[in-house]
Amino acid sequence: MTQRRRLSNTQNSPQSRQQPGTLMAQEEDDDSTFTQPSTSQVQRGLEKLTPAQVEQKTAEVVQYFLVKDQKKIPIRRADLVKHVVKDYRNIYPEIIKRAERTFDQVFGLKLVEIDTKSHSYILINKMEPVVGASIINPTNPKMGLLFVILSIIFMKGGLVRENLIWSTLKKLRVDPGEKHEEFGDVRKVVTDEFVRQRYLEYVRIPHTEPVEHEFRWGQRADKEVSKAKILEFMGQLHEQDPQSWSQQYREAHSTPSSSQASTSSQR
């Protein structure tokens, strides 16, 4: 047999960008390698850098937050330091402070640390939503789905079994077992996407056979979603005074920071 000659073999290996929708499992937190520098360390670090350098790094960090926020998955400090801050880690607090200022003054956004253990950040909007503002804005139907789920959880006292969510969605013609025209794999969107975005928590109920889970609000929902406004909508929907749900009303109008009050029947 004749040997075969090949002109070139430039078969590029597929690059390792993730497919949209699939996300790598949360890596082991390598945040331990990062220790928050002290004020004096920051001071010394700043002296060695020109203002332009610090500004540029800040802009990169802002850019990074914006890019990563496309998927609404919280941004971990460890990743931020590894991918962007890099050699500037000794002035990390200063850079974050400046990035916060840029978000505030240019974008009207707020950078919030949601998890002080894993140090993750999310961006939330500081501007009041304006009724009728969506003159041109397209809407994302998934937000509607999320809204319904969060409403049920809140109205049921902060904790619900998954069955309640699935059966209510079924009544709304969204079958978690079927591919939905608008949401695709509904179960995945709800128990995976919303969970990774920290809108929802989805936890297994112990000692159930078959396995059952329950839902509660995630950290992002706590920061981003107004219970008072949900209740207001409930009032409109049921043609009922929002105050008639007295427990929910009290919770919605208590201090927004401590909104975690699970009153539901825990077995």
Partner 1 sequence: MSRQMGDSHRRFLQTMMVSGIVDEQEARTLYKHCCETHNTQCAPDKLDDFIDTINSKLQPMFMQIRKGMSEDSGQQYYALVNMSETEVTRMSSDYADNELELFRKTIELIMGAENGKASSTDILNSVDSMTTKKMKKSETEHLLNRLVHDKWLCEKRGEYTLSTRCIIEMEPYIREMYQDQVKVCHICHNIAFQCQICENPTCGIKIHNPCVARYFQGRAEPRCPACDDFWPHEIPEVRRPQSQSRR
Partner 2 sequence: MSDSPLIRTSGDNEAPRQNGYAGRGRGEQQQNDGDDGDGAFGPADLQDDEGDPSLRREIRSKYRDLINSVQQNREDMLSPSNNKLTEVLEQANKLFKDVRQAREAALDAQLLVVATDLGKEKASQLFVEGTAFDPTAFAEHLLSFMGLNRLEDGEDADAWHRVARKAECCFSTAPSFHYMMGSFHAEPPPPKQRIERQRKAPTKEAKRIMPTQLKKMEESHQEATEKEVERVLGHLKRYYQDDPESPIYYYEFVIDPNSFSRTVENIFHTSFLIRDGWARMYLDSAKLPCIAPVEEGEVEAGGSTSRKQCIISISPKTWKELIDAFDIRDAMIHPNTQH
Residues in the chain: 267
The SS3 of residue 206 is: coil
Does position 216 interact with partner 2 (CB under 8 A)? The reply is: no
Q: How far is CA 117 from the centre of its chain?
A: 16
100-108, 160-168, 169-177, 196-204 -> range binding partner 1 (CB under 8 A): 100-108
Tokens of 99: 């990035």
Instruction: Identify residues 167-186 at the interface with partner 2 (CB under 8 A).
Output: 167-168, 171-173, 181-182
Tokens of 71: 């998927």
Q: Which of 31, 42, 45, 68 lies at the binding interface for partner 1 (CB under 8 A)?
A: 68
Distance CA 162, CA 266 (A): 14
If contact means CB under 5 to 8 A according to the sort of partner, which of partner 1, partner 2, none does residue 46 touch? none
Count CA atoms closer than 13 A to 219's CA, side-chain side.
18
**Cβ-based burial of 5 (10 A; exposed 0-12, middle 13-18, buried ≥19):** exposed
Q: Which of 46, 84, 148, 159 lies at the binding interface for partner 1 (CB under 8 A)?
A: 84
Instruction: Identify residues 3-42 at the interface with partner 2 (CB under 8 A).
Output: 4-12
DSSP secondary structure code for residue 164 in this structure: H
Q: Which of 34, 107, 147, 166 lies at the binding interface for partner 1 (CB under 8 A)?
A: 107
Question: What sign does the CA torsion over 221, 225, 227, 230 have?
Answer: negative
Tokens 């749900």, residue? 245
135-143, 151-159, 228-236, 246-254 -> range binding partner 1 (CB under 8 A): 135-143
Does position 200 interact with partner 2 (CB under 8 A)? The reply is: no
Stated as kind and residue range, the H or E segment containing 37 is none
Q: Which of 4, 20, 24, 173 lies at the binding interface for partner 1 (CB under 8 A)?
A: 20
Nearer to partner 2 by Cβ, of 72 and 82: the residue is: 72
Stated as kind and residue range, the H or E segment containing 124 is strand 120-125
Does position 159 interact with partner 2 (CB under 8 A)? The reply is: no
Q: Which of 3, 40, 137, 258 lies at the binding interface for partner 1 (CB under 8 A)?
A: 137
Binding region for partner 1 (CB under 8 A): 11-12, 14-15, 17-20, 55-56, 58-60, 62-64, 66-68, 70-71, 83-84, 102, 105-108, 125, 127, 130, 133, 135-138
